[in-house]
C-alpha cells in the first residue's frame, strides 16, 4: 500500500492532529474543510453560502496538490451546524459539481470547530 501526506499552503493548515489529505491506493481522502481563508485563517463570512464556497475552494486546492480535481470526487460528507441551512449549502455546492455529482451525505451536528457553520470532507480518485 502506498500512502502519502498531502499539504498545500493554498488551503488552511490543519487545526488539529491531522493532515489536509492522504493519498492511498489510488484514492485521495480529504479531511474536513471549514470555510477558512488560507491567508487569514478566518472564516470566509458569516453565512453558510460564503463558508461552503471557501470550504470547497480549499478542497479543490488540496485535490490539485494531490494531482486530481473536483471532477474525480466520488464521495462527500457535509456537516452543518443547522440542517435548516441545507438549501443554502446545496445551492453553492451544486455549482462545484454541475454534472454527475458524487455520492453525498449531509447532516446536522451539534457544533463545528472554530464556530464554523459547515464542514465538508471528500474522497476522490487519482488519475490512472
Angle formed at CA 62 by CA 124 and CA 54, multiple of 5 degrees: 105
Could you report the per-residue pLDDT of 59-93, keeping only the tens digit for each? Answer: 999 999 999 999 999 999 999 999 999 999 999 99
Distance between alpha carbon 13 and the CA centroid of its chain, in Å?
A: 13
Residue range(s) defining the domain that contains residue 36: 3-125
The total domain count for the chain is: 1
For the chain, how many residues are written? 128
pLDDT tens digit at each of 128 positions of the chain: 789 999 999 999 987 899 999 999 999 999 999 999 999 999 999 999 999 999 999 999 999 999 999 999 999 999 999 999 999 999 999 999 999 999 999 999 999 999 999 999 999 999 98
Cα separation of 123 and 72, whole Å?
9
Return the CATH number at 87: 3.30.1330.40
E runs forming strands in the chain: 3-6, 21-24, 27-33, 73-80, 103-108, 118-125
- Cell matching residue 57: 475552494
DSSP category for residue 67: T
Amino acid at each position: 500500500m502506498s500512502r502519502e501526506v498531502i499539504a498545500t499552503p493554498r488551503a488552511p493548515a490543519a487545526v488539529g492532529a491531522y493532515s489536509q489529505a492522504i493519498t492511498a491506493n489510488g484514492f485521495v481522502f480529504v479531511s474536513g474543510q471549514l470555510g477558512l481563508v488560507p491567508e487569514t485563517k478566518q472564516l470566509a463570512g458569516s453565512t453558510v453560502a460564503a463558508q461552503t464556497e471557501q470550504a470547497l475552494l480549499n478542497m479543490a486546492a488540496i485535490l490539485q496538490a494531490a494531482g486530481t480535481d473536483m471532477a474525480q470526487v466520488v464521495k462527500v460528507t457535509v456537516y452543518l451546524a443547522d440542517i435548516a441551512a441545507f438549501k443554502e449549502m446545496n445551492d453553492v455546492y451544486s455549482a462545484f459539481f454541475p454534472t454527475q455529482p458524487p455520492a453525498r451525505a449531509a447532516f446536522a451536528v451539534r457544533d463545528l470547530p472554530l464556530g464554523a457553520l459547515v464542514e465538508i470532507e471528500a474522497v476522490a480518485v487519482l488519475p490512472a
